[in-house]
Structure 1
Amino acid sequence: MSTLAPDPAAPERTALDRTVPDRTALATALDRGLADLAGRIGGEILLPGSDAYAATATPWNVTAASAPVAVVAVADAADVAAAIRFADVHDLDVVVQATGHGAVAYSRPSLLVHTGRLDEVTIDPVRRTARVGAGVRWQRVLDAAAQHGLGALAGSAPHVGVVGYLTGGGLSPVARTFGYGSDLVTAFDVVTGDGEPRRVTATQNPALFWALRGGKGALGVVTAVEFALLDVAELFGGCLYFDGTHADRVVSAWKTWSAGLPEQATTSLAVLRLPPSPAVPPPLAGRCTVAVRFAWVGDSADGERIVDPIRGLAPVILGGLGVLPFHALGMIHADPVDPMPVHERAALLRDLPDTAVQTLLRLTGPDSACPQVIVELRLLGGALGREPREPSAVCHRDAAYSLLTIGVAAPPIVEATVGHAAGLMAAMRPWTDGRSAPNFEASADPAVVAGKYDPAVLTRLATLTAGYDPNARIAASHPVRAAAGLLHS
């Protein structure tokens, strides 16, 4: 049984009545309902004004912060079901959060289901599978799998949550070799928007199995996921950093070189303007630099030979390439860990001709007034371009590259960041057609969400949300339904 987490601003209670909420806190039906919910779950109700509420309600991207009426720190799937049914009674949206990556600020009154306590990690080394709770981050899975000589298809930032990453497809630093992370998923445990716990596999609730792989959180609250592991203990890779003055040469050469890479190779390129900070290496701080990331699955000598043309493009000011244990996958991108206010825009490119490269360099190169911290291109193709054995809602598999901008969304630079990103995406639109991927540019804007899916997929997702969430309790379903409505308006 749980109690309401104490509010430090409330009058001090005696030892006898500490488990009973203050009468003044029960003045409304919502307060009475929260008190009742607290007594029926194994987790905890966190109220505004407490440190625990602030810690769980604040997402990684702090600009997406919202003010839910309460946080339900759930202990199991039964708690999730109780929270959704409570939200239905009190006309609240259900927002889900574990790490807060990819968070979106919603305007309607909401209840935040925090899944951080769902921390199961079970590795089956014989079947080469993992079962992971919704509160688990990738690095923990990588480390656990490595104890058995196995790898997990994590993304570039292993501090993000496993479930949010996989429900959005999941683009790994070795994605061209193994495909999307969601392609390896074999099962979900989910509580759908009608408050029903369900087991989901290719044969059990197959429509949900299709939708949860790519549909993000629109269908419900995933409490656990199961997926195949990789029979890979190490890889060859790393990152080479060049001074921004060589951007024209490096970006143009990378574009030509990357187009001919075999599937064992995955690569990305980023134009960086990292601010001076204790977390930023001095050679990169306060200047424009270009990073070339590379990962090779296979013999390291072959990887050395494949990447050698890049090494000789210009003097390397930082970084290097070598054999890495697979659990050190995050070292390739070295993404920031600490929460920050960010503005993100993203698109998928069908190709990258010389005119597109010139446009990108004009707006982001060393002679531009680019305010973005990161402007990134990732090579797609390879295994990413093939449909998995069990079809999913992941779309746009024909895309050749992804484009991402990340800038600081705080004064005094926020207006410049937002305006520049919009201008860049408009300039690159001839090669993007407005398409993007679920895990990049989190947004509640139906027009943005519409670009993440083919029309048929979007329509099917919206139809499934209506079936499994008839009262539209799951907040993430709203932009999906609205985006589908745009197709017929």
Structure 2
Amino acid sequence: MTATHHNTPDLFALTDIHGPVLRPGDDGYADEVTGFNLAALHTPDLVVGATGTDDIVTAMRWASATATPVTVQATGHGANFPIAGGLLINTTRMTDVRVDAEHRTATAAAGAKWSHVLAAAAPHGLSALTGTSTDAGVVGYTLGGGLPVLGRTYGFATDLVRSFQVVTPDGTLRDVDAAHEPELFWALRGGKGNVGVVTRLTFDLLPLSHLLGGGIYCRGEHAQTLLTAWADWTRDVPDEMCSAFNLLRFPPIPQIPEPLRGGFWARVAIAWTGDPDEGERLLAPIRQAAPVAVDMVEDMPCTAMDRIHLEPQDPLPARESCALLRELTPDAVRALLDQAGPDVPDYPLLVVGLRHMGGALSRPARIEDAICARDAAYLLESVGVLAAPPAAEAIERATAALHTAMAPYGTGRTMVNIHGTPGDEQDRARAWTPEVYAHLQHAKSTYDPANLLRYGHTVPPA
């Protein structure tokens, strides 16, 4: 696509960009800056629709020369903070995925989604460490560590990364792996987008084509019974069993399938990578804990993993948050249900959930990284849909109350991808230990001393 040429002198260098270069008021500007999370309405001074690595290099060199702050967006699932001013680089046109079946690796471009990776890997009997929605972008998800559906079995997405191609804020294109620029390689695996703009990454694929997965739904009135049973069950299940417990208050809208539409549900979602018959046997205590209203557990191809968590497929304005928990005691179960259980009328959060951690997620990284969630036993997460101002205020109050109630059982930290709207520096720092945060600040000082990548969940230079 030909760049839009403006007569502004300091935009002259951007005429070499092959994709659109747009400012507020230009045709296509709104589409270019809008991502999946409609709560983050971006208003950059300039947006570049990158078509390839050269466009990103040119944009970053211009930003460096003009001291213009930069942010990057692919799908916008993780956009929890509206961007005002500066330069936004949109990578949605860069969706190429190449699979090396012999070495069981994939190389994904900056704007590729996990659905693109799964589709490319499936013909070779391979899969990947996608999250709960395959509509999410590979790069942003992985830079934040990447908490996969199959995490207990295989670890974090960063554990499988072999290399990055990245443009640092000075406009230099670098190929980075454990042997070449190890400090940058470390910071890119769990440090989010604080040290550069990734143009592609190469990672290992899984020798997996099918799994047992889906959701077991009970009506919300049985939430305490099901959650208590799930908490007990998770203490002994093997690493091949990955699961989550959710309280779901579905709106009565066509996007929600019947019979779930408009109901309040307690759900256990599972993904089992072992023998299907063994998986079914292991699920017996969950199915026997409370009356099962809907059972969607089935043998499925890995390309169908979206059926496990049934996340929204259409853009919406959302407020998400998370906290890492060190334990899930009976007191913790009661505290969660006191906040979000069936006895709370008109509760405003769409989802309150717990992800079972441990297993491969608790093992030390083969190559040191910036992830600080390996000591967590569970992850607490919540999502509210910001439909109108009164709803937004109720969601904020409910989110704060939930985290206050669960704080005694937490590690004090979050995961950067699901942290939610980033607050001040002290709040943002909760995604890492103090030692790792200081290390990230040092890396930031090395690669982005001018703090050009300053939007969203950022770490300032030391």
In the other structure, the counterpart of 1:316 is 292
How far is 1:174 from its partner?
Answer: 1.1
1:381 paired to 2:342: no
1:475 paired to 2:454: yes
Residues 105-143 of structure 1 show CA distances to partners (whole Å, capped at 9, x for unaligned) of: 356521001111222210010000000001110011101
In the other structure, the counterpart of 1:432 is 410
CA distance in 1, matches of 2:361, 2:411: 19
Contact 1:283 1:317 in 2 (8 A): no
Residues 260-312 of structure 1 show CA distances to partners (whole Å, capped at 9, x for unaligned) of: 11101000010000111101123222231111101111111110111111112
Contact 1:106 1:475 in 2 (8 A): no
CA distance in 2, matches of 1:311, 1:396: 30
Paired residue secondary structure (1:481): coil
Contact 1:217 1:477 in 2 (8 A): no
CA distance in 2, matches of 1:211, 1:223: 16
CA distance in 1, matches of 2:3, 2:94: 19
- What is the aligned-residue RMSD (CA, Å)? 1.6
In the other structure, the counterpart of 1:70 is 46
CA distance in 1, matches of 2:313, 2:67: 35
How far is 1:51 from its partner?
Answer: 4.5
CA distance in 1, matches of 2:305, 2:194: 29
CA distance in 2, matches of 1:60, 1:178: 28
Question: Which of 376, 380, 404 in structure 2 is aligned with 1:399?
Answer: 376
Contact 1:443 1:449 in 2 (8 A): no
Counterpart amino acid of 1:3?
Answer: A
The 10-residue stretch of structure 1 (325-334 or 127-136) with the greater mean CA deviation from structure 2: 325-334
1:55 paired to 2:31: yes
For this pair of structures, how many residues does the alignment match? 459
Q: 1:277 to 1:245 in 2, by over 3 A?
A: same
CA distance in 2, matches of 1:236, 1:423: 36
Could you tell me which runs of 5 or more consecutive residues in structure 1 were left unpaired when the two chains were aligned: 5-19, 485-489
Question: Which of 401, 405, 412 in structure 2 is aligned with 1:423?
Answer: 401
TM superposition outliers: structure 1 runs of 4+ over 4 Å: none
CA distance in 2, matches of 1:431, 1:366: 22
How far is 1:313 from its partner?
Answer: 2.1
Question: Which of 122, 130, 133 in structure 1 is aligned with 2:98?
Answer: 122
In the other structure, the counterpart of 1:113 is 89
Q: 1:283 to 1:49 in 2, by over 3 A?
A: same
In the other structure, the counterpart of 1:3 is 3
Could you tell me which runs of 5 or more consecutive residues in structure 2 were left unpaired when the two chains were aligned: none
Contact 1:166 1:213 in 2 (8 A): yes
Paired residue secondary structure (1:117): coil
In the other structure, the counterpart of 1:13 is none
Query: Could you tell me the TM-score, scaled by structure 2's length?
Result: 0.96
The 10-residue stretch of structure 1 (447-456 or 214-223) with the greater mean CA deviation from structure 2: 447-456
Counterpart amino acid of 2:393?
Answer: E
In the other structure, the counterpart of 1:43 is 19
In the other structure, the counterpart of 1:454 is 433
Counterpart amino acid of 1:156?
Answer: T
CA distance in 2, matches of 1:379, 1:283: 26
CA distance in 2, matches of 1:328, 1:37: 44
CA distance in 2, matches of 1:196, 1:476: 20
How far is 1:356 from its partner?
Answer: 0.5
Q: 1:387 to 1:267 in 2, by over 3 A?
A: same
How far is 1:43 from its partner?
Answer: 2.2
Counterpart amino acid of 1:426?
Answer: T
CA distance in 2, matches of 1:340, 1:108: 20
Query: Could you tell me the TM-score, scaled by structure 1's length?
Result: 0.91
In the other structure, the counterpart of 2:443 is 464
Contact 2:14 2:58 in 1 (8 A): no
Contact 1:194 1:471 in 2 (8 A): no
CA distance in 2, matches of 1:172, 1:419: 29
CA distance in 2, matches of 1:168, 1:394: 8
Contact 1:155 1:172 in 2 (8 A): yes
CA distance in 2, matches of 1:471, 1:481: 9
In the other structure, the counterpart of 2:340 is 364
1:202 paired to 2:181: no
Contact 1:351 1:400 in 2 (8 A): yes
How far is 1:389 from its partner?
Answer: 1.2
How far is 1:398 from its partner?
Answer: 0.8
CA distance in 1, matches of 2:26, 2:401: 41
How far is 1:79 from its partner?
Answer: 1.6
How far is 1:173 from its partner?
Answer: 1.4
Counterpart amino acid of 2:374?
Answer: R
Paired residue secondary structure (2:239): coil
In the other structure, the counterpart of 2:255 is 279
The 10-residue stretch of structure 1 (284-293 or 252-261) with the greater mean CA deviation from structure 2: 284-293
Question: Which of 216, 221, 238 in structure 2 is aligned with 1:245?
Answer: 221
Q: 1:169 to 1:185 in 2, by over 3 A?
A: same
Residues 38-93 of structure 1 show CA distances to partners (whole Å, capped at 9, x for unaligned) of: 42122221222244211120121111112001111112222212212222333321
Structure number with greater Rg is 1
How far is 1:476 from its partner?
Answer: 4.2
How far is 1:442 from its partner?
Answer: 3.5
CA distance in 1, matches of 2:83, 2:164: 29
1:168 paired to 2:141: no
Q: 1:3 to 1:173 in 2, by over 3 A?
A: closer
Q: 1:140 to 1:97 in 2, by over 3 A?
A: same
The 10-residue stretch of structure 1 (312-321 or 254-263) with the greater mean CA deviation from structure 2: 312-321
1:101 paired to 2:111: no
CA distance in 1, matches of 2:216, 2:32: 36
Contact 2:454 2:460 in 1 (8 A): no
